[in-house]
Amino acid sequence: GQTYNNIGSAYRALGDHQNAIKHYKLSLEIKSKVLSSQHLLIASTLSNIGGVYEEIQEFKQALLFYERAAAIYRQRLPPTHTDYQRSQTDIRRVSDKLKSN
């Protein structure tokens, strides 16, 4: 699962958003089968998918994935953790973009 996540990140860095999403979703599928639904690696992949959707300006989809990631971070991490804080920032930023569109 993590290998597909890394491949997704490579495609994302190359600007190939469709292949990035495809590989992130493959990663998520595998991780969901072998890890707890509240595992931090699942949250990380959800956040990555949200990031790609944000980059291609599909803000509703981005927000859905960011919110799913944030729900895991809220359960598993203290509010002072950087991943927790970043997830909250991601949600606010995309929510603001949705309001301005």
| Confidence (pLDDT) at 101 | 78
pTM listed for this prediction = 0.96
Residue 70 and residue 88 in contact, taking contact as beta carbons nearer than 8 Å: yes
Could you give the CA distance from residue 100 to residue 90 in angstroms, rounded to a whole number?
16
Residue 34 has pLDDT above 90, yes or no: yes
Question: Nearest 10 degrees: CA dihedral of 8, 11, 15, 17?
Answer: -50
pLDDT digits (tens, 9 = 90+) for 48-81: 999 999 999 999 999 999 999 999 999 999 999 9
Q: How confident is the model at residue 88 (pLDDT cuts 50, 70, 90)?
A: very high
Mean pLDDT of 21-37: 97
Mean pLDDT of the chain: 97
| Confidence (pLDDT) at 7 | 98
Could you give the CA distance from residue 63 to residue 98 in angstroms, rounded to a whole number?
9
Torsion-angle region of 77 (φ positive above 0: left; ψ -120 to 50: alpha; else: beta)? beta
Give the closest residue to 62 by CA, choosing from 86, 93, 16, 85: 93
| Confidence (pLDDT) at 95 | 98
Q: How confident is the model at residue 8 (pLDDT cuts 50, 70, 90)?
A: very high
Could you give the CA distance from residue 51 to residue 99 in angstroms, rounded to a whole number?
18
